[in-house]
């Protein structure tokens, strides 16, 4: 057997180790989104609280907003909910809820029991708007500028530290405008 063949397992090991190293260095919350710097998708869906009211993108244009994808079946959403209440209490930016693939009655009970940080909630029962957004699961948070352009996507539980970073991003937009 030629001596070169003895190095094949070592070479394969090094290649696999390189892929593992690359995979471990990726932040799972930094999922790519085709929507960054593009308009939020058009939609026409019912309000969670007022089923007769149809909401569209026009309902939140004109100011930066957070669009938070949540559901009652999502344990991480419950964990994140308290931080959303804190953000809402600051009054710094409106939070729009996107209730994703959920049951209306359960979602309404959730908001009644835990508090409602949302200016309004879009009821995406079938998940079509979530599909247009490229939602992997809940929670996900999208930061939109006043023109409805998606500027940032955050996957996972939004923490106080994450909120501080998002605030800096929003303040950066203000300095660009002036």
**CB–CB of 147/57 below 8 Å?**
no
Length of the chain: 178
pLDDT tens for residues 96-121?
999 999 999 999 999 999 999 999 99
Its sign, for the CA torsion 164, 165, 166, 171, is: positive
**CB–CB of 60/94 below 8 Å?**
yes
Question: How much is the mean pLDDT over the chain?
Answer: 88
* Token code pair at residue 114: 């835990």
The residue among 128 and 175 whose pLDDT is bigger is: 128
pLDDT for 178 equals 39
pLDDT tens for residues 6-39?
777 777 777 877 767 766 665 554 555 668 999 9
């Amino acid at each position: 057997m030629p001596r070169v063949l003895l190095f094949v397992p070592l070479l394969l090991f090094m290649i696999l180790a390189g892929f593992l190293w690359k995979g471990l260095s990726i932040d799972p919350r930094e999922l790519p989104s085709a929507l960054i710097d593009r308009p939020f998708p058009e939609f026409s869906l019912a309000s969670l609280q007022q089923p007769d009211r149809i909401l569209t993108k026009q309902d939140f244009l004109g100011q930066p907003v957070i669009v938070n994808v949540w559901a009652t079946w999502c344990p991480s959403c419950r964990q994140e909910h308290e931080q959303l209440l804190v953000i809402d209490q600051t009054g710094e930016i409106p939070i729009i809820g996107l209730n994703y693939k959920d049951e209306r009655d359960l979602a309404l009970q959730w908001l009644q029991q835990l508090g409602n940080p949302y200016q309004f909630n879009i009821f995406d029962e079938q998940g079509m708007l979530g599909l247009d957004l490229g939602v992997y699961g809940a929670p996900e948070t999208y930061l939109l500028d006043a023109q409805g352009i998606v500027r940032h996507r955050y996957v996972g539980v939004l923490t106080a530290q994450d909120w501080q970073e998002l605030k800096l991003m929003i303040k950066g937009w203000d300095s660009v405008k002036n």
